[in-house]
Structure 1
Amino acid sequence: MNVRMEITYQTPKGTETAFTSDEMRAPKALLIAEDLQKTGRVSDIQFVDNHDNSWNMKELSRQMEEIQTEPHNITVYFDGGYDLKTRTSGLGCAIYYEQNEKAYRLRKNARVEELESNNEAEYAACHLALQELEYLDVHHLPVTITGDSLVVIMQLKGEWPCYEPQLSRWADRIDNLISRMGIDPEFNLVSRKKNKEADHLASQALQDIEITSTTEQSN
């Protein structure tokens, strides 16, 4: 989770001023705040996330303890493929996360028939991955969302316009899902080679091989 610090500083003679820090990871912010408190000149520190949720030091420390018991440090890989001959799509996603000091990998794929293009399949795969995060009860955390579709990544980042109605509807679904969970997405474009796990899951879906699994990973 990323936060910024809003600090009230007081000089020895009682003059006060306020500072706002850059955004940083919550554990780092807590360490800096603890150091600042040792000066004896900080009268108040609040931690604020991108959704304007606010905590004091005690509350944020408790929040970080609770996060350890929930999925966090999440990276999502997604990929979609479209078979023009059969007019079917294969969707695949792999989700890496930590929980209770252990690392996990979730794999999920799906075969669908109502899509009309490879780009639409890519969007649907991203939506599938986010639905899996919602099932894991992920909320108000940063999530890295990784794919090899230049169109989908650039449109979801808001750097490219989305003119096609079908793709626009998928983008709206994804935006609504992200907003509902309160997550902070970082969209990451990679080569197909670096996205081969999600690509393989999508290919398996097209072959009607269903994959749904969660496994613990060695550190």
Structure 2
Amino acid sequence: MKIRIEWSYKTPKGQETIFSSEEMPAEMALVIAEDLERTGRSKNILFVDGFDSSWTVKEMKAYLKGIETEPHNVVVYFDGGYERLTRKAGLGCVIYYEQNGKSYRLKANTTFDSLISNNESEYAALYFCLQELEYLEVHHLPVRFLGDSRIVINGMTNEWPVAEEQLTPWISRIEKKIAEMGIQPEYNSIPRKANAEADKLATQAMNGIKIAAAAEVIA
């Protein structure tokens, strides 16, 4: 999770102002905030995320300690493939996360029948990723979703109108699932090349190759 620090600073002569930092990982922000506290001149230190939720230093310490044993710092790559003649879709999902001080990567794919467009397969892939997050027991955390479908990314952020009627129910299902899980989503569009892992999984699914595996990522 990325947050910014906000604090007030008072000089020995009583002059006071308020500072705000750039966004940074929560763990780094906590180290800096504790150092600011040691100066004795920084007061009212708060951590603020992209959704304007705020924590005190004590609350942030408790939060970070509480998520150590749960999946956190979650990043999701999704992609959908579609065969027009068979109306069969392949859905690919790659989830990177941290847990108990280690980094992991989960790869999963599946197929979906009776879809009518590649755009629909992309939305189905995003929903499939939410199901995988649910299996991991990811909840009440910020999650980054990365995909190469601008239709999906801009559709989920309401930047583009939804032109295909069959996509609207998918958006509703995704938003409902996200609300149920308490996820704070961040959607980012990436080049197709950067989404190669999820794309490969979607293609493998359409070719009858099922993948479901998690492994530790060694730096």
TM-score tier (shorter):
0.7 to 0.9
Paired position in structure 2 for 1:69:
69
**SS in structure 2 of the partner of residue 204 of structure 1:** helix
Paired position in structure 1 for 2:129:
129
Alignment of 1:167 onto 2:170? no
Q: Render the CA deviation track for 1:117-146: whole Å, top value 9, x for unaligned.
A: 110001100111122112212234333322
CA contact (8 A) 1:46 1:57 kept: yes
Q: Describe how 1:19-168 pairs up with structure 2 within 5 A.
A: 23-51=23-51, 53-168=53-168
Q: Render the CA deviation track for 1:88-135: whole Å, top value 9, x for unaligned.
A: 111111112221122211111111113211100011001111221122
Query: Normalising by the residue count of structure 1, what TM-score does the alignment of the two structures yield?
Result: 0.84
Q: Render the CA deviation track for 1:170-217: whole Å, top value 9, x for unaligned.
A: 122223333333334332323333322212211222223322111222
Moved more, 170-179 or 3-12: 3-12
Paired position in structure 1 for 2:204:
204
Unaligned runs of 5+ in 1: none
Query: Normalising by the residue count of structure 2, what TM-score does the alignment of the two structures yield?
Result: 0.84
CA contact (8 A) 1:147 1:189 kept: yes
Return the letter of the residue paired with 2:154.
M
Unaligned runs of 5+ in 2: none
CA contact (8 A) 1:70 1:100 kept: yes
Return the letter of the residue paired with 1:56.
T
Return the letter of the residue paired with 1:133.
L
Q: Render the CA deviation track for 1:35-62: whole Å, top value 9, x for unaligned.
A: 2212323443333434554432122112
Return the letter of the residue paired with 1:130.
L
**SS in structure 1 of the partner of residue 166 of structure 2:** helix
Identity across matched positions, percent: 55
CA RMSD in angstroms, aligned pairs only: 2.6
**Structure 1 residues 51 and 188 mapped into 2: Cα distance closer, same or farther (>3 Å)?**
closer
**Structure 1 residues 156 and 65 mapped into 2: Cα distance closer, same or farther (>3 Å)?**
same
**SS in structure 2 of the partner of residue 165 of structure 1:** coil
Distance in 1 (alpha carbons) for counterparts of 2:4 and 2:84: 48
Query: Between Structure 1 and Structure 2, how many residues are aligned?
Result: 219
**SS in structure 1 of the partner of residue 27 of structure 2:** helix
CA contact (8 A) 1:51 1:182 kept: no
**SS in structure 2 of the partner of residue 38 of structure 1:** helix
Distance in 1 (alpha carbons) for counterparts of 2:105 and 2:2: 23
